[in-house]
A and B are shown apart, each in its own frame.
Chain A
Amino acid sequence: MSAPSSLFLIVEDHPEIAENNASWLKRLNTNCRIVTAIHPNQAFEHLGVETPDLAIVDLLYGTMKGEQSAEPGLLFLSKIFEQHKTLNVLVYSSEYRLLAPLMPLIDTHKGGFAVANKLEQRSVFLERAKSALEGELRIPRDLRQQSINFTDMEYKVLLLLCQDHLTDQAIADELHISRRAAQKYIQRLKEKLTFDSIDESQTNSRIALCVEAMKRGFLH
């Protein structure tokens, strides 16, 4: 049984990179439909027509002066956070550190948000694309700086996890959400507390998460 058809929006001004992005995304979902925009303005117009399952966005775009500018890319993301709050986004750029000013908006974005370094292997690209499609938040450690912004729901989950020591299911029941949604919140907490070690056992990683939250003053 083939996977349901997905719509991917690629925003990339380098035609060959865009083409390769599309090629690799097809490996994620062979039935996908891919729309490519060579400039954020064009992509934003397209968002008015249809909502993709995932937008793959480059940050740097060539200007009339022949230089590279992050302004169009960052502006485009700001508009997404404002007008397409549930859109899943994968930022695919070697200059992902430029996202720093948008971190508060990224942390509160309701859709999936992942960042992949363009200079890393495509396997990373595919993994992050998948995370974003699943609504997860995946931010490189060096981008995650001092500012941590929890949503109300994330903070409730943190308290239930670390103060009441509830399981995923108990948290889901307490908050009247699905177990998967609860796990998603826990993943985002780990992400925001720069604790994304997936190799460790669940129990240890949760204890580590709570210790980190306590160290940073979120818990008393």
Chain B
Amino acid sequence: MTLAKTWQKRALLVGGIWSALHITMLSALSDLPWLRNVELGVKDALLRLDVTMKDRFSKQVSNKSKEAIVIIDMENAQDYGLERAEAYAGLIEHLIQSGSRGVLLTLPHSIANAPLIPDTASKVRDKLPTIEDPIKKLINDRKKNVVLATKVYTIPRGKIVFPLYNKYLDLGSNNISSDNEKDLTDIQGFFEFFPIFNSKNKFNPIRYPYLALQDFYLEDQVNKSAKFISSTCLAFKKFQSPQTESCNKFPGEIQLKFLDPLNAFNKIPINRLCNVNKANCQNQIDPKIKKQNQIDPKIKKEINGKFILLGLPEDDSSYFQLPSPFGKLASVEMQANLLASIIDNSFYRVLGFSLSFGVILAGAALIISLFLLISAQPKKRLLIYGSMIIIGVPIIYSGVIVLAAYFNLILPIVLPISAWILIGNSTIISLLIWRYQEQVSQQKQKLVERTAILSETQKLLSRVATDIHDRPLQELKLVMDRIEELAYDGAIDPRLLRMKHSRIESISLVEKLSNIGQDIRNHLNDIQTIAQKKWTISPELANGLANGIEHRLNLLVSDGKLRLNVTRNIFPLKEPALDITWINDREDIFRFFKEAINNVMKHAQPFNGDATGVTIFLKQEGNQCTLMVMNDGSKTAPAKPNGTGTKNMETVAAGLPNGAWQREWLLEGGVSVHLRWTMPSD
């Protein structure tokens, strides 16, 4: 579409500049915590909606992943002595022996930080019975079935440090070498839900798990680094699919699919696994006792072939919860949801910064294009259609967001919608401002053209008046002189130089000619007055008739000319901005008002009158307008209320569309002057 009018181009250009400013400003603001929280809240609601929809309508949620995962509920774990390494290792052994694929665990603080049970060498040296550390034994015996989730931490300079559990591994020494690094990285993986991985993602520091292979500095050897994989990915690789690449696909721009916790994973309470009275879980690693504790076939069935996720007891100091769309979840539940997503290879994809910015720009372009289409509409329609665009685009986008979520794509929400609303408002304001300026400019242009035409007409009128004065009037004077001479000298009977004036009166020819001459002269004066009149808009009327009247009243009151109590019922009129006829009529109506208020000051105001107040009323109802000036003086109607003022008022009323005026002497005293006319439509 080609834009014919420059003002539309300008307005849209300004709208575009404002848009860029808004986007930049909002991008900067997106770091604000409250904005992040709003985005997070909206997205959580969206994800809950998506889960509900899929649960209800499409059954997209795979039971495969749900059934493949079992969480061991560690509540009241201390009742079973699980704070001790023997019991803890026994539980894991129990789970492995029950046929599970493997166990992903986070070592409780009480175990991870306990001193290692003296090793065989020291026992031999000290001639003590040989007792091997049960955790160390478990890890070495069950390397293929155990993964240790490890929480990393940062030290100054932003280094991320990976705590090593090398005390449990037979590494030969404490130092990591290329030979034994694989042993370590096959057992330990990093815990994925940690804010430090997500510093680039400004919206959601927690809900985006980090899965990619990552270099970490090693605890106690901070100058040395090693690559570790996410613990959940490591578990998946080790326990199911060693060749899987799914964990390496996503460089941190995925969002976990959470299952509704009420209907999520199978949880086996600890009391079903460990006998609380007699043989507790530690017996599972003692071959002598093992046979006495045959595994419950029912539990075995539940565990067999499953990924076992072992969390932390709630009373352990390492226990923590993380926020999710369904409220706070224990870290093990977060791992379960992540593992389910990996098994199904189904994540939400999140648009990166560039794509998000692209979405915002595309929306902004769409809004500006739509405004382009409606920019030529009248003001009222522009406002209606503009509002529809401003509201409609975000509504449509909201639908797109829901649809995209259904197809596992998470779109940015708060930033684009805020940006578009601001852009829409800016553009509509720009269009209105420019339209107004354009109207004013057109008005001025029309006035200039009209003034030029008037000027020519005025010159012509002036010339005609001058010519009549110079020739016919002078000739008339000579004729009058001649007739007067004849009468004066008695050359003609004076009675012959008279003509009938009325039924009973006669008038001399000279007197008659004098009257005619004077009439002509008066008309010529009127013509000259018109010819010399400057046709301009009264400055006080530039903002409308109501403003002009208010301004005039203020001036009269401040000058002390109007000393009555002034009651103002003055309402702005719907004036057609570009109607030149109305602009001229408005000048006349203003003149009418000035005449009326002058009359009040001259005749009704003390000392000439006894009025105490004057009411000014200006209102438009439909296209009918009324102007009224009313005083409360007691002056009675004059016998002959005529004069130049009255004539002027009549002239003004006659010139207006459906114009009529009326002066009433009120019974209760006072005079009211009404002027009514029809306002031309815009």
Contact = CB atoms under 8 A, between A and B. Distances in A.
Interface string B471-482: 001101110110
Given A17-B474, A20-B481, A67 B518 contact: no
A48 to B, nearest CB: 30
A68 interface: yes
Given A17-B477, A119-B517, A119-B521, A68 B484 contact: no
A20 B474 CA distance: 12
Nearest to A123: B484
Contacts of A68: 466, 469-470
A59 B10 CA distance: 58
Contacts of A62: 470
A121 B469 contact: no
A65 B421 CA distance: 67
Contact of B521 (A16, A94, A122, A123): A94
B474 A14 contact: yes
Nearest to A94: B521
B488 interface: yes
B510 interface: yes
B474 A119 contact: no
B485 A23 contact: yes
Contacts of B508: 121
Contacts of B473: 94, 119
Contacts of B518: 117, 119-120
A126 to B, nearest CB: 10
A119 B477 contact: yes
Nearest to B520: A119
B465 to A, nearest CB: 9
Interface residues of B, number: 21
Contacts of A14: 474
Interface in B430-483: 463, 466, 469-470, 473-474, 476-478, 480-481
A16 B517 contact: no
A122 B484 contact: yes
B478 A16 contact: yes
A20 B510 CA distance: 15
A119 B514 contact: yes
B424 to A, nearest CB: 61
The residue in A68, A119, A120 that gathers the most chain B C-beta atoms within 10 A of its C-beta is A119
B511 interface: yes
Interface string B39-57: 0000000000000000000
Nearest to B489: A27
Interface string A14-37: 101100100110010000000000
A118 interface: yes
Interface in B620-665: none
A118 B470 contact: no
Contacts of B476: 119
Given A27-B488, A117-B518, A122 B481 contact: yes
Nearest to B484: A122
B510 A17 contact: no
A121 B482 CA distance: 11
Nearest to A66: B466
The residue in A20, A27, A94, A123 that gathers the most chain B C-beta atoms within 10 A of its C-beta is A94
A68 B517 CA distance: 18
Interface string B509-528: 01100100110010000000
A22 to B, nearest CB: 11
Contacts of A120: 514, 518
Nearest to A14: B474
A94 B516 CA distance: 13
B480 A121 contact: yes
Interface in B88-144: none
Interface in A121-178: 121-123
A122 B478 CA distance: 11
Given A68-B470, A121-B484, A20 B478 contact: yes
Contacts of A94: 469, 473, 517, 521
Contacts of A117: 518
B477 to A, nearest CB: 6
Interface string A91-126: 000100000000000000000000001111111000
B514 A121 contact: yes
Contacts of A123: 484
A33 B478 CA distance: 22
Contacts of B511: 121
Nearest to A118: B477
A20 B485 CA distance: 9
B470 A121 contact: no
Nearest to B462: A67
Interface string B497-517: 000000000001011001001
A158 to B, nearest CB: 23
A94 B528 CA distance: 14
A163 to B, nearest CB: 23
A59 to B, nearest CB: 12
Interface in A166-212: none
Nearest to A117: B518
B184 to A, nearest CB: 112
Interface of B: 463, 466, 469-470, 473-474, 476-478, 480-481, 484-485, 488, 508, 510-511, 514, 517-518, 521
14 contacts: A14-B474, A20-B481, A23-B485, A24-B481, A67-B466, A68-B469, A68-B470, A94-B521, A117-B518, A119-B476, A119-B477, A120-B518, A121-B508, A122-B481
Interface of A: 14, 16-17, 20, 23-24, 27, 60, 62, 67-68, 94, 117-123
Sorted from nearest, which 10 A-B pairs have the closest CB atoms? A119-B517, A20-B481, A122-B484, A119-B518, A121-B510, A94-B521, A16-B478, A68-B466, A120-B514, A119-B514
Given A68-B470, A119-B477, 9 more contacts: A16-B474, A20-B481, A67-B466, A68-B469, A94-B469, A119-B514, A121-B480, A121-B510, A122-B488
